[in-house]
Amino acid sequence: MKNRTRISFTVKPVGDCAVLAVFGDTVDEETNAAVTVLERLIRGASLPGVGETIPAFASLLIHYDPLDTDYRTVADALIGLDMDFGPKGLPGGRTVDIPVCYGGEYGEDLPFVARHSGLTEEEVITRHSSRSYRIYMLGFLPGFPYLGGLDEKLFTPRLSDPRTKIPAGSVGIGGEQTGIYPFESPGGWQLIGRTPLTLFDPEKGGDLPYRAGDFIRFVPISADAFKEIESSGKRGHP
């Protein structure tokens, strides 16, 4: 069959209860999409003894119960999954809209990002909110999405002196990526805006409105809209 793509990966043991599937050592959308596909295939296959899966930029960690199965059985099952895709390529995930108030008290580093990029603040906002970003992985903090696909013009170095306290919902740029701080924490990314949505609340189960492989689209809102959504206590779920 013509125009089909075979996505390959290697497997190796991690301790006595996990397997690591490695797709390469590059950070790009196609590689990360393949990680997402393998994770979905594993869920659909209901492999005996296989439990939690943890996706990263170019790899997938698969935990298993050593009382129910073993490394060789799981590894062989993974390699046997159909990772062959047709002309339409690798499937994507959902798109989750995240409202963001840019600049001012909600994004104090927006002026620096604008100066660094040679753009106006409005141009930075337009470029940042004009595309959908693939969630490559969740990490650093529970629910922190590392997003790929940032406009190269907006690449901005992290702060040389990280902040000890960043407000929950802050949207930042760190190098070649953008992301969201789901709750108050230290951090070193350049803050350009903030969402009023509650993205992560461990007291209410800690569930998230997105997962690795999904896409996030930032929707600019006014300060008044921010306060209205914030006062409503709306959570970040579709």
DSSP string, 164-225: EEE-TTEEEEEBTEEEE--SSEEE-SEEEEE--SB---GGGT---S--TT-EEEEEE--HHH
List the domain boundaries for the chain: 5-85, 95-232
- pLDDT tens, residue by residue, 67-98: 999 999 999 999 888 665 544 455 567 899 99
- Domain pair 5-85 / 95-232, same fold: no
Task: List, for residues 189-225, the tens digit of each pLDDT value.
Answer: 999 999 999 998 777 666 788 988 899 999 999 999 9
95-232 topology per CATH? Cyclophilin (2.40.100)
pTM of the model: 0.78
What are the structure tokens assigned to 7, written together? Answer: 């996505």
- Domain 5-85 is found in CATH 3.30.1360.40: yes
